[in-house]
Amino acid sequence: MDKIFLTLKDVALRLGVSEKTIYRMLNDNQIPFAVKIGGQWRFRTDALEGWLNRQANLGPEVRQIDSDLTVHEALQQGAVLYRIHGHNRDEAIDELLSVLPYSSNFNLNAIKLAIFARESLVASSMQGIAYMGISGEQPVFFEKTMVLLAFLEAPMDFKALDGVKTLAVFLVLPANLAEQSIIEAKLRRLSMEKEFQKIIAGQLMRKDLLHAIHFLEQRLFSRKKPAKGKRQNQRQG
């Protein structure tokens, strides 16, 4: 690449995702090297190259973006934890990160800084549930995208905008920013459902919780095409 800036289409092609996915990433502030020039998004080539190189160091499998990744699958790859304790938010996150698979291979301080760099902009906790993730400006990537769900031993102050103390924490640990954006978009949609809020409030056992979230995701996000005969009837109508 010899251009200083890339277009949105250039970046979508380079990452192997749709332009809609790039727009979602922009809306979620997941691409820190983007600027608007003349009303059009442009992306700094050097920053994109550095970001891609950091992912390349984790192996080729990390660079493959799963656009159909579900919260259920990311939870299966992560963990569901109960009775997480601590005197404050920092201590609770420390305990949460201590269960990471192969935690000795990660710089836990770097992960924590990436989480709180984002939380410092705006607290993610609302209605007693925190939806935490990695800052796009200080990304830390993993072999596969994971979600850790932690139920706290007691309500804790996570500096929520609505003032409600936090009882549960979702932490998205991504293989890449695109998958982080996908999972966070699905979590936001799930959080709008009373059924989802009831599932989390009930602190179901892991097997039952995963089953309930899987069922709800299928209902909300399934993209089943109508049968051929039904499509023809719709055209005739």
Ordered DSSP codes for 211-226:
HHHHHHHHHHH--PPP
**Is 234 among the domain residues?**
no
Residues 50, 81 within the same domain: no
Between 194 and 66, where is the model more confident?
Answer: 194
Cβ contacts of residue 202 below 8 Å, gap of 6+? none
What would the pLDDT profile of 61-115 be if each residue is shown by its tens digit?
Answer: 445 688 889 999 999 999 999 999 888 899 999 888 887 765 556 778 888 888 9
**Is 226 among the domain residues?**
no
Q: pLDDT value at position 22? A: 80
Domain that holds residue 34: 5-57
Give the three-state DSSP class for 19: helix
**Is 154 among the domain residues?**
yes
Q: 117 and 137 in contact (C-beta within 8 Å)?
A: yes
Q: Which residue has the tokens 């031993």?
A: 153
- Determine phi and psi for 38, rounding to 5 degrees: 60, 35
**Is 64 among the domain residues?**
no
Residues 183, 121 within the same domain: yes
Q: How many domains are contained in the chain? A: 2
**Is 63 among the domain residues?**
no
User: Cα dist. 82→102, 104, 157, 168 in Å?
Assistant: 20, 22, 18, 9
Q: 177 and 15 in contact (C-beta within 8 Å)?
A: no
Q: 60 and 129 in contact (C-beta within 8 Å)?
A: no
Residues 24, 121 within the same domain: no
pTM (2 d.p.): 0.69
Mean pLDDT of 129-158: 90
Name the band, by pLDDT with cuts 50, 70 and 90, for residue 127. Answer: very high
